[in-house]
Structure 1
């Protein structure tokens, strides 16, 4: 019996999710920031690991592992696509939270910084970026033209 030639493209075409793996210097502070300030949902939390997610079927999932050795710490980054209206509302809300937290006495590990203000990019994205207290960066984007995922999660019905 002849074996089909190895075709990695056909095999990875079944991919349905990607999960970036970030490092954290303090898992509890990371969980508080991502759930309380950024709206993620906690999947699981252990002393050395956390899983946080957003979107339908946890489409945007990030794993965090505790890094105890400062010399081994490496910040990471990921991009998260949002619906057009939600993208704009999230940015406005984070701007307001930034104003509140500057006077709120939160520790640096419990806050975020907007490291790129919202702007349109020549490659067709409208995006902004934040960094958590460890320097991990999330870029939230939407397409300037075409689909912004509404067909996946039902459009604006999830707005609060």
Structure 2
């Protein structure tokens, strides 16, 4: 008698997901994500980088170098933040875009490193979010829940 295969019970053990993005310049990508967005370097090689943020590297992105323009594909990811941190990150990025003379990035040229492509707003599905594109066109949407936990217990030492 064959045993029952239940993939749901197996993937319930998942504890992390790591999106894999492409980059046209690994070092420039690392500078953007560390200096402008606050990520930490896990590793940086000429053809690969691992960048992370949050407790236990909860938000981790891998980047691989893509030299062939015809093979380049931009990717996207969503990153959940605490409520106060979400608002402060948006305000800081908006100020940097304005300082660079780009306004919000929505109706002007992007900065050399990022462009705000969706202003902060509340969505009907219960998120408050904004989106940026990096220099390669990869889309990062930062969000927080309008109701419920926004991870504050992770920073409170609980």
TM-score for the superposition, normalised by structure 1: 0.89
Matches of 1:46 and 1:28, distance apart in 2: 9
Q: Which runs of 5+ in 1 are unaligned?
A: 156-160
CA deviation after TM superposition for structure 1 residue 5, in Å: 1.2
Q: Which runs of 5+ in 2 are unaligned?
A: 103-109
Matches of 1:56 and 1:154, distance apart in 2: 11
CA deviation after TM superposition for structure 1 residue 153, in Å: 2.7
Residues 31 and 73 (structure 1), Cα distance of their counterparts in 2 relative to 1, 3 Å cut: same
Aligned residue runs from structure 1 range 4-83, under 5 A: 4-83=3-82
- If asked which structure has higher relative contact order (CA below 8 Å, sep 6+), I would say 1
Q: Which protein is richer in helix relative to its size?
A: 1
Matches of 1:46 and 1:110, distance apart in 2: 22
**What is the match of residue 143 of structure 1?**
145
CA RMSD of aligned residues (A): 1.6
The answer to whether the Cα contact below 8 Å between 2:100 and 2:111 also exists between their aligned partners in 1 is no
3-state DSSP of counterpart to 1:52: strand
Matches of 1:19 and 1:129, distance apart in 2: 19
**What is the match of residue 125 of structure 1?**
127
| 2:113 matches 1:111 | yes
The answer to whether the Cα contact below 8 Å between 2:130 and 2:143 also exists between their aligned partners in 1 is yes
Matches of 1:153 and 1:38, distance apart in 2: 18
CA displacement 1:78-112 (0-9 Å, x = unmatched): 00000000000000000111122338xxxx78410
The answer to whether the Cα contact below 8 Å between 2:116 and 2:131 also exists between their aligned partners in 1 is yes
Residues 109 and 73 (structure 1), Cα distance of their counterparts in 2 relative to 1, 3 Å cut: farther
CA deviation after TM superposition for structure 1 residue 151, in Å: 1.9
3-state DSSP of counterpart to 1:114: strand
TM-score for the superposition, normalised by structure 2: 0.90
CA deviation after TM superposition for structure 1 residue 123, in Å: 0.2
**What is the match of residue 158 of structure 1?**
none
3-state DSSP of counterpart to 2:100: helix
